[in-house]
Structure 1
Amino acid sequence: MARIVFLPLPEAGHIHATLGLARQLASRGHEIRYMAPLDGQPFLSGHPWPFTPIYEEAMPRGRQAELDAKMATPGLSPQARKDIIQEVLHRHGLRIDEALFGTALESRLKESGADLLLVDATFPLPVLTAHKVGVPAFQLCTNLALHRDLAVPPLNSHHVPTGSLGSKLRIRLAWRWQHLRTFLPFEKKVRERLPAYYQSHPGAARASFHTHLQLGPHFQVPTLVMSAPQFDFLRESSDVHYLGPCVDLGRAEPPLPLELPPGDGPLILCSMGSHGDRLRGHREFFQSVIAAVASRPQYRLLMAVGKQVGKDSLGPLPSNVRVMDWVPQLTALKQASLMITHGGLNSVKECICLGVPMVVYPLKFDQPGNAARVVHHGLGLRGNIRQTSAEHLGAQMDQVLGTSTFRTRVQAMQRAFVEADASSRGAQTIEQLLQRARPPLLAAPSGSGGTLLHGQG
């Protein structure tokens, strides 16, 4: 049995996504530990696994939330916005330096006695920290794979590949555009520091900047995706390993804190995720959803709007509508017939695992790509949050709830998801990869030498 350390981003979505996999591994006798900045600790409350804080200087407790709140302040001046961005870049630089050259993260990884480090693919540089101490490290995707694959578009694209010449050209152009623009200030800091690291550690895993939605490069170590391959588009990449959805359907959640609207009509759950209330257009969107349901008394609506909007800010509500700041999502989905969602992968996977069709209004990050897959597989519909109306939303609700094909296709995908998790596919895949990683996985090919940066052009 192995001691396996998770190193996720300190955010609810990233940590919650790992809990099902952690339970799988623990049930097979592996010892689980977590490392993360201090803001991640509350999301592990109630779980039995030891927690080790890291990056205390770069990411002190609560500072990121303060910066996010300042950035969302109405009427923020250009200079104030610039100052916030500069601080974010400074703190990111501290985190880079610690991962590549610092001693604190290295020491804590040594002290952990880890046999394997599972690094959040969004910030994968600790893969190189693990190399320094001789610990195998894999990239763990809380979304679908992030590195360039010319068979599929980037995840922030709405495009569904068709195999046609036009589709292939569109995918190539999309990846080229990503390479030119995505996270350039962040990539610059990494590019400046990596050559010095590789001079001291020439056998470390190779890095490629042909990626997106990553704060840093993609490394040539196994990429673990917490989804079933049936949900993804067909890829060319050979080192992407699908673990199954790894949804923790047994996680403890409180009951709904208020009574649902009366009646036995279809219940619609609407939630735009943990960051959905921060984005422009959210209030108008929530009001459109309410108006659509108000004109359809046969439906019932349960909506989570987040603290930035606030449940008391949307005016008098129809009798078939309930609005809250936060909803225990699994608890609500078990009673829902439809979810209106931003398309975060956690929410999409939970809908599939519970057989709930979706109407997806993607906001940013990987959500457009997730929405494209929902539509491609017939699991629901999608829309544009800045162009929709109550009439259009109502028509989408009617179409999904009134067409049995959506539920049939969700249930077919549900069977694939549930089977993968029931068989502990994720834990078994990691065990097999870890066995192959001994002797050390990260040795460079003979004759590689020199700097190991790829994708500079």
Structure 2
Amino acid sequence: MATILIAAGMTPGHINPALKFARALQSQGHRIHFCGFLDARERIVAEGFDFEPLFPDLFPEGDLEEVTSLRVRRDRWGQLRHIRRHVGRVRRMMEAILAGALDGLFQRLKPDLFICDVIERALHLVAYGNGVPTVLVNTTVPMAPQPRPPKPSWRAPMDRVWGAFRASLRRTLEKTGARLGFIRPMTWFFSELARKYGHIVEGDGPGRFFPSATPMVVLCPGEFIDTGDAPRRESLHFLGPCIALDREEPDFDWSRIQEGRPLILIALGSVPYLLKRHQDFIRGLGDAAARRPDWQFVVSAGPLTDLGMLERAAPNIIAAHQVPQLGLLQRATAMVTHCGFNSTKEAIYFGVPMVALPFQHDQPRVARLVTHHGLGVRGSPFDMTGETLVALLDEVITQPGYRQASQAMSMRFREAESPQAMARTLEQFLEKEQEPLPRPSGT
């Protein structure tokens, strides 16, 4: 039996998958501890796990809810005040971490393995400095290095000079970060943290703060990530999709769903509703619904939408601020999605073809994988009309290849969701001696 410490972030998209593999490890007899900010405590403790709060004086419970409330109310001055307060908290947290505030956690628990979400990237350097083997968890698809086109030969000397200047400027900023008036740059913080815990920083980009040998797990089968364009990294491993099938879902009037009619689920995530173009898209759904009166459109509209106005646009629209996505996917004919990784995995799990409308961040990368595997089609949410949306839906509904590909990938997702398989994947890192970090000379 091993002691395993997990840092999983604060939001449901990070906590729910961590709870899934934590239960799988616990079922094999391992002792599980979580650590994180107080906003994550309630959900984790409710599942019966121990929770170690990090910097509770700086980040009190309810902080995340306050940010969401300010955004929903579009309270600009409130957001600015919160940002100013948050900047000061982050600065004090960085100073405390550099002073060794987290060393006691690892020395007291003495974990045999640290499973760290990539968004908590400072913690893995502390863990390595305390001799604790670490596995990074990526809750989205990993970024593949993009090949750079060859440059004209006459550019090479200029590029070398410019590159040396940028590297010198970065080093100067990092060294003088303590004297900058606003807040020390994050690169300065990670450079200092890496130096404190013995990691030699090489190269550019955020990846230079991750030891190259650190294993990383991705929360889906490898078949979904692999496109054949590049060989898979040796340090990359795959768990099941870690879908929280037992999560509590919002109330819903199921009597409004009519059996025998195609059901189109439209759910664009919990963040895009803050974008004006998302609201424009939602308001234009009436035209799409009117073009297919025999279909049912169930819309997860977000907290800013006038539900009555949306439903009055067409009699076959059912709108709610939040919908029970898992329950609806089990009945859906197709899903219109922003291609957030969690929503995409849930559609695949239930074999539902997708119309992918990526807005931002990792969503375009996920959408490319959806179309690569024939699981759906892709459009732009920024110039979508009722006519073009219906055309995309017609394609994924009438062409059987999309549902067949979705059902085939669904079978692979369900096989990979085995708790025993997840536990075995993570337990292998208990059995291996990870390479120690190289320490600078003279330390």
Report TM bin, short chain. 0.7 to 0.9
- 1:322 aligns to 2:318 (yes or no): yes
> Does residue 440 of structure 2 align to residue 449 of structure 1?
yes
Correspondence 1:123 to 2:146: no
Work out which of the residue numbers 231, 244, 264 in structure 2 matches 1:268: 264
Whether contact under 8 Å (2:355, 2:379) holds in the other structure is yes
2:293 corresponds to:
297
Q: Which residue of 1 aligns with 2:252?
A: 256
**Does residue 148 of structure 2 align to residue 169 of structure 1?**
yes
TM alignment of 1:223-238, pairs within 5 A: 223-232=216-225, 233-234=227-228, 235-236=230-231, 237-238=233-234
8 A contact 1:261–1:321 mirrored in 2: no
In structure 1, what is the Cα distance between the partners aligned to 2:431 and 2:322? 42
1:393: which partner in 2?
389
Aligned partners of 1:407, 1:126: CA distance in 2, in Å?
A: 42
**How far apart are residue 357 of structure 1 and its match?**
1.0
Q: Distance in 2 between matches of 1:429 and 1:265?
A: 42
1:389 to 1:63, Cα distance in 2 relative to 1, 3 A: same
How far does the alpha carbon of each residue in 1:295-344 deviate from its partner, in whole angstroms, 9 at most, with x for none?
A: 21221121112223353453625332211111122122111121111111
Match of 2:205 among 207, 210, 219: 210
Matching residue within 104, 107, 117 for 2:104 = 107
Percent identity of the aligned residues?
28
Distance, in Å, in 2 between the alignment partners of 1:34 and 1:310 is: 39
Partner-residue secondary structure (3-state), 1:306: coil
Report the AA paired with residue 372 of structure 1. Answer: R
* Correspondences of 1:141-160 after superposition (within 5 Å): 141-146=138-143, 149-150=144-145, 153=146
Q: What SS does structure 1 have at the residue aligned with 2:312?
A: coil
Instruction: Tell me by how many angstroms 1:45 deviates.
Output: 6.3
Q: Where do 1:24-39 residues align within 5 Å?
A: 24-39=24-39
Instruction: Name the counterpart of 1:410.
Output: 406
Change (3 A) 1:429 1:191: same
Q: Judging changes above 3 Å, is the alpha-carbon distance between structure 1 residues 98 and 377 closer, same or farther for their aligned structure 2 residues?
A: farther
- Taking structure 1 as the reference length, the TM-score comes to 0.80
Q: Does the CA-based 8 Å contact 1:208-1:219 persist in structure 2?
A: no
Deviation at 1:71, TM superposition (A): 5.3
Mapped to 2, the partners of 1:256 and 1:287 lie a distance apart of 22
Closer, same or farther: CA 325–208 of 1 in aligned 2, 3 Å: farther
Counterpart-to-counterpart distance in 2, 1:230 and 1:274 = 27
376 and 90 in structure 1: CA distance in 2 versus 1, 3 angstrom threshold: farther
Higher helix share: 2
Q: How does 1:416-435 map to 2 (within 5 A)?
A: 416-422=412-418, 424-435=420-431
Query: Distance in 2 between the 1:381 and 1:88 partners?
Result: 40
Pair member with larger Rg: 2
Match of 1:336 among 326, 329, 332: 332
Corresponding pairs, count: 414
Report the alpha carbon displacement of residue 84 of structure 1 after superposing the two structures with TM.
5.2
Give the match for residue 162 of structure 1.
Answer: none
Task: For residue 220 of structure 2, give the secondary structure of its aligned residue in structure 1.
Answer: coil
CA distance in 2, matches of 1:260, 1:208: 57
Cα pair 1:145 1:223 within 8 Å, conserved: no
Q: Which runs of 5+ in 1 are unaligned?
A: 154-167, 453-457
Please give the per-residue CA displacement for 1:194-241, whole angstroms capped at 9, x wherever unaligned: 444344432x486765358xxx94343111111111111444422111
Alignment-mate amino acid for residue 222 of structure 1: P
Given that 1:71 and 1:84 are in contact with CA atoms closer than 8 Å, whether structure 2 keeps it comes out as no
Q: Distance in 2 between matches of 1:170 and 1:366?
A: 23
Change (3 A) 1:75 1:419: closer
CA distance in 2, matches of 1:340, 1:170: 35
Q: How does 1:195-206 map to 2 (within 5 A)?
A: 195-202=191-198, 204=199
> Where does the alignment leave 5 or more consecutive residues of structure 2 unmatched?
152-158, 160-165, 168-173
CA displacement, residues 80-120 of structure 1 (integer Å, 9 cap, x when unaligned): 876655444433334433444342x3333444443222111
SS in 1 for 2:318: strand
Candidates 329, 351, 354, aligned match of 1:355: 351
Does the Cα contact within 8 Å between 2:113 and 2:429 map onto a contact in 1? no
Determine the C-alpha separation between the residues in 2 that align with 1:240 and 1:451.
33
Q: Deviations over 1:95-153 (max 9, x none)?
A: 433444342x333344444322211102311012223433222211111225xx43xx4
TM-score relative to the length of structure 2 = 0.82
> How big is each residue's C-alpha offset from its partner over 1:412-445, in whole Å with a ceiling of 9 and x where there is no partner?
11122122223733321111122113xxx35124
Distance 2:150 2:94 in 1: 31
8 Å contact from structure 2 (residues 141, 218) kept in 1: yes
What is the aligned counterpart of 1:242 among 232, 238, 250?
Answer: 238
Residue in 2 aligned with 1:222? Answer: 215
How far does residue 394 in structure 1 lie from its aligned partner after superposition?
A: 1.1
Whether contact under 8 Å (1:72, 1:278) holds in the other structure is yes
The code of the aligned residue for 1:218 comes to F
> Alpha carbon RMSD of aligned pairs, Å?
3.4
Q: Check conservation: 1:13, 1:274, Cα contact below 8 A.
A: no
- The one-letter code matched in structure 2 to 1:319 is P
